[in-house]
Amino acid sequence: MTNLTRNHSERGAALVVCLLIMAVLALLGAAMLANSVLELHIGGNQRESKVNFYTADGAARFQVTRLSSPNDPMGNVADVDTPNQELVPSGTEPADANMAHWAVAAATANYPSYHYRVVYLRKGNPPKGYSASTFAGFFYQVDCLGQDAGVSLISMKIGPK
């Protein structure tokens, strides 16, 4: 029969090893939690950036469609031979002095507010298929700014000379 004797110098070593493993796992969990929080912030910022960009893009496209409407004063320029006219709709107040030629579209329940500006650029030839003696192309630049995003479009309106 063999006599098993305990080595008294190893008493409690399993407890120390378990505590060290638990401490390492706790640090790993804390690092993963911090990483998750960071990823949530990045995702939120990306979402907000996309909302601002698409708001500015949609607003610019909306303003371009307003230019095509014969009843909307934004598309009617008093002197078509004078280039680079800034068109600001009547009754709009600039948000600040740096944006004196920008109109503000108020926020709605689903969309944030944005600034926009329409500039009549010049009169030019109409596209193919239109008589150059009867019709002209009128070029506009539409700029829209969301919170942190901006979109600029060039549009042409076709009309009689």
Percentage of residues of the chain with pLDDT beyond 70: 76
Confidence check: pLDDT of 136 > 80: yes
Condensed to tens digits (0 to 9), the pLDDT of residues 4-28 reads: 666 666 677 888 899 999 999 999 9
pTM over 0.75: no
Please report the DSSP string for the chain in residue order. -------GGGTTHHHHHHHHHHHHHHHHHHHHHHHHHHHHHHHHHHHHHHHHHHHHHHHHHHHHHHHH-TT-GGG--S-TTS-SEEE--TT---SSGGGTT-EEEPP-SSS--EEEEEEEEEEEPPPTTS-TTTEEEEEEEEEEE-SS-EEEEEEEEEEE-
Identity of the highest mean pLDDT range in 48-62, 78-92, 123-137 = 123-137
Cβ 76 vs Cβ 160: under 8 Å: no
Percentage of residues of the chain with pLDDT beyond 90: 17
In the prediction, which pLDDT does 141 show? 85
Condensed to tens digits (0 to 9), the pLDDT of residues 63-89 reads: 787 777 767 666 667 777 888 887 766
- Structural domain spans, the chain: 13-160
Of 43 and 145, more confident:
43
Q: Which residues contact 161 (CB under 8 A, 6 or more apart)?
A: 133, 134, 135, 136
Predicted confidence band at 43 (pLDDT cuts at 50, 70, 90)? Answer: very high
Predicted confidence band at 98 (pLDDT cuts at 50, 70, 90)? Answer: low
pLDDT (mean) for 48-62: 82
